[in-house]
Structure formats: structure tokens, C-alpha cells
Structure 1
């Protein structure tokens, strides 16, 4: 990913949220997602990314269709050598075409090469499509659950984990 990709990544993220989180988080929040604001947020995150943070994009016919971001696990209270998948989104028009799987495979390969023993991620508890995807790619829930505040609602997230270096 480059800084020039931030607007397309922002659109992928917004469309991904609006598609994947419909009925899971407040609709008003999803309706208010703004491309200009999200593009600025993506640029800021990209420019301020710390050591080991990697943004990847997937492209088809010259257009970005997916984005993922991974790096060191973010729990400051529990410093580990583990990696975290911070985000993975595929434009809804390109779901179930291998884009997400390719992005996740590249992320896990890079994290394995970097010496991370495991990769963790957080997913909305009720997001059954995403949970199935992660389970099909070797991730399992580890029993950890946390509330997440979004759009004035609290929704539970569950943590998944995968040992790296396996298939």
C-alpha cells in the first residue's frame, strides 16, 4: 500500500463496514460514514504507522478491491511477540472470490517470517460470516471477549488466534 491508495482503502473500509456490520451496529453510524473523513484517517494511520505495521492491498484490473493491516499485538498491558490482524476488508462486490484469503495468507506469511509465534484478531461476536472465514483459515476463538463501543451501542467482540508456521 502507498499513501496514494488511502482514498480507495477508505472506500473499501466504508463499504465493508456498511455491508458486514448491517444489523450488528447502529445503522445511523453506518449511514454517517464519510469518505473524506475516512480518507484523512487512513492517511494519518498510514503516515504514523509504527515499526512492524504493514498495510497490504489487493488489486484487480487496476482497481483496489481489498485491504488488510497487521502488526505487533496492541495490548499494552500484555506485551507479547505475537502479531495482530488489525483489519481486513474486501469490497462487497468482490467477496467470496479469494481476495480476503489472499490478503490473510500474505499477512500470516509475513508475520511468520518476522518471527511472530501467533496471530490474534478481534471480530464482532455476531459476525458469523467473518467468524466462519477465520475458522476456515485456521483461526480459533480463545475464549476472550470484550465489549466494544460503537455508534452509541456496546457490541461484544471475541478474540481469535492462530499459531503461525502451520497451514
Structure 2
């Protein structure tokens, strides 16, 4: 991902949230997501980043961005582990089911294995059945860790998924 991709990635992320989290996150929050502000945050993170977060984009024919993933070191408060974390994986709704997410996740998995991370972790909304099935088909499993965050006064539960990378993908 380059700074030139930030607008498209922000649009993908915003539309992805609005589609995937409908009914799970308050609708006024989803309706208020601002792709322009999100693009600025992406630009700032790229400019200020230390290289530990990797942003990948998938391109469709003609160069249009078809998906985005971000990964890096697992975040557990101030504790650093040798594990990797998939921070984000979003597609435009019309790209769901076309193999784009699988391609991005495969690339993330290969890169994490090549960097000798023992496992990849990610957080998924507990009620996001489609995403949970996708990760389960890719070899991830809920590991028992749960947490939640609050959006506009509504508690949104998340479940942590883990995939062991021993033996490499």
C-alpha cells in the first residue's frame, strides 16, 4: 500500500464496516463513518510508521483496489510476543465471494510464517458469522479469549481467533 492508495483503502474499510457490521454496531455510527478522515489517518500512519505494520492491497483487473489487509506484531497491551496479528481485512461488498479475501489472507499467512512468527491472531466480532466461518475455513479457531469495546453506548463483543504457523503454510 502506498499513500496514493489511502483514499481507496479508506473507502474499502468504510464500506466494509457498513456492510459487515450492520446489525452488530449501532447504525448511526456506521452511517457517520467518514472515508475522508479515515484516508487521512492511513496517510499519517504510513508517514509515521516504523515499518512493523504491513499494509497489503489486492488489485483487480484495471488496477482498481479490490481489498486491503494490515498485519504486524500481536498487540496485547504493552506486552510484545513473537506472534503476528491480522489487524484488518476488508473488501468492498461486491467483492465478497470472489476469492480476494482468501488471496490476501494467504499472503499474510505466508509472510508471517516466513518471518518465523509461531502463530497469527485476530479479533472478530462475535456476531459476525460470515467472517467467523471464513477464518475457520482458513484454519483459524476461537482460542477462548474474548473482549469487547463500546460503540455509541453499545457493547460489541469480540472473539480472538488463532492459527498456528508451525510447519509453515
TM-score category, normalised to shorter length: over 0.9
Equivalence for 2:82: 81
Equivalence for 1:98: 99
- Alignment partners' CA distance in 2, 1:43 and 1:151: 26
* TM-score of the pair, normalised by structure 2: 0.95
Equivalence for 1:58: 58
Does the residue aligned with 1:80 lie in a helix, a strand or coil? strand
Does the residue aligned with 1:18 lie in a helix, a strand or coil? helix
1:117 and 2:118 correspond = yes
- Alignment partners' CA distance in 2, 1:65 and 1:44: 22
Equivalence for 1:44: 44
Equivalence for 2:140: 139
In the alignment, structure 1 segments of 5+ residues that lack a partner are none
CA displacement, residues 124-146 of structure 1 (integer Å, 9 cap, x when unaligned): 00000000000000000000000
CA RMSD in angstroms comes to 1.2
Contact 2:148–2:157, Cα closer than 8 Å, also in 1: yes
- Alignment partners' CA distance in 2, 1:45 and 1:137: 29
Equivalence for 1:9: 9
Tell me the matched-pair count. 167
Change (3 A) 1:76 1:51: farther
Structure 1: which 4+ aligned runs deviate by more than 4 Å? none
In the alignment, structure 2 segments of 5+ residues that lack a partner are none
